Structures are given as C-alpha cells and as structure tokens.
Chain A
Amino acid sequence: MVNISIDKEDDIQLINVLGEIDASSSIKLDDALKTTSAEGLAIVMNLEGLSYISSAGLGVFISYLDELKTKNIKFVLFGLQPAVTEVFDILGLNQIMNIVITKKDALRIANEA
C-alpha cells in the first residue's frame, strides 16, 4: 500500500511517497513519474516515508532514467531509510542515480544549471 502526492515548489515537482512499493503498488509510482516527466521540470522525490521497495518499484525508477536524461530533466531522491538505501546499493543504483540525504541537498542539485 502506498500513497503518492505531487507538489509543485517553484520550478520543481516534489513527489512524496508514503508506504510500501511492491509488485501490487508500483503502478502508482509509474503514474507519478509519467505525470511529472511530461512536465519537463526537475523532479525531486521525498522517500522519507518509503518503508519498503521491491524490484517492481526499482524497475519503475530504472525505466525512466534514460528518458529523463534525454530530456535533461534533473531527478533527485532524498530521505531514503536504511533498508531502502541498501536495496538501491545492492543493484548499484546509488552509482547512477542522484541520491542524497536531505531535501536541502536535493533542491540544490535540482536547481543547478
């Protein structure tokens, strides 16, 4: 079960995720990224409330990386809990995605020219 909301802050779209993302709920993450990637603004994801993610959710992230890069849309994640961080690390996604600890750092990266 996951709840996802999208807020617009200046020139940034902030996606807030609360709950667990697995094969039954990853469609909601996909919908959120589909909506925000179409806007063309930087995307910052607040994952402080994400307690669990399986490959279904990671797969959604991965499927947008190429498109966001091509469109030059900044994509930054922050606030990952230790268990969630570990899953990203196991796949090496921490090496290819912008993952930071605080919202402040995430906004700084998103606002970089």
Chain B
Amino acid sequence: MKHNLVISCNKTNLSKIRSFLSEILEGQAIAELEAHKMILAVDEICANLIIHSNYCNPTKKIEILVNFETPTKVVFIIKDTGISFDFDQYKEPDMTDIISSKRKGGVGLILVKRIMDKIEFSTDKNYNICRLTRNIRK
C-alpha cells in the first residue's frame, strides 16, 4: 500500500507531514511509540531538506511517499529538487563537541541513523531521493 504527500518548503508544513504519517501508521495499527520514532526520523530529513537544501523557498516542493513493502517493513521515500546531500561524507558528530560548541544543530541525522534500519540517498534526473527503511517492531 502506497501513500504520498507533496508540500511546499515551508517549516510550518512539518506538522502537516507528521499528521499525514501519523494517520497512515495508525491505520496500520503500529504501536504509538514505534510510530512516533518513524515520524521523528522523517520529520528530521524533511526539516533538513526544507532548510538546508531548499532554503525555505515556498515555491520548491518536497514529496513524501510511504510504502509498506511487507507487513513488517515500511519504506519512507522523500524526494526534492534542492541541493543534494552527500551522505557518504557525513560523519556523526561527537555529543561532547556539540555541547561545548553551543551550536543548536547537528543531532537530527544522529536520531535518523539510530531510528532507521537503512538510510539511502541517491539522485535520479533532477530529483534527490532519500529512502528510509524501518523494520516494524511490534
């Protein structure tokens, strides 16, 4: 079963993404805490794309697709046309360094990495594609 949502690159649309995901996951009878973690991970990716890849330009769009490949495996696909992210170059920052630097960012991808079972970034024609896979825990 596939579901999709297209939103413009505005930070206030993050709540719409969460509502969209919440409804789908609830419909699949996924436990609340399990669903919450998946929603958080997708929110983190979308926030990064809106802010860093598309500079909050409301004329740019992000598409979110949810696909239950099996009853216990869900894939979230997030597509945009902004600046692509080189995940291979990403190095997880040390929490001690983040604290001492007093910077407000840097932990979003850590959450995504710890929540999702598989994270893939790719490009196809003009699209950047982020694919997040989670094996559903009951």
Contacts and interface: CB of A to CB of B under 8 A. Distances in A.
Interface of A: 1, 20, 22-24, 26, 30, 52, 54-56, 58-60, 62-67, 82-83, 86-87, 90-92, 96
Interface of B: 11-12, 14-15, 18, 32-33, 36-37, 40, 43-44, 47, 50-51, 95, 98-100, 102-108, 110-111, 114-115
Contacts of A26: 104
23 contacts: A20-B18, A22-B15, A22-B18, A23-B14, A26-B104, A52-B40, A54-B14, A55-B44, A55-B107, A55-B111, A56-B104, A59-B103, A59-B105, A62-B95, A62-B99, A63-B104, A65-B99, A66-B102, A83-B32, A86-B36, A91-B95, A92-B95, A96-B99
A65 B2 CA distance: 42
Contact of A90 (B14, B47, B104, B114): B114
B115 to A, nearest CB: 7
Query: A interface, by DSSP: helix, strand, loop or mixed?
Result: helix
Contacts of A65: 99
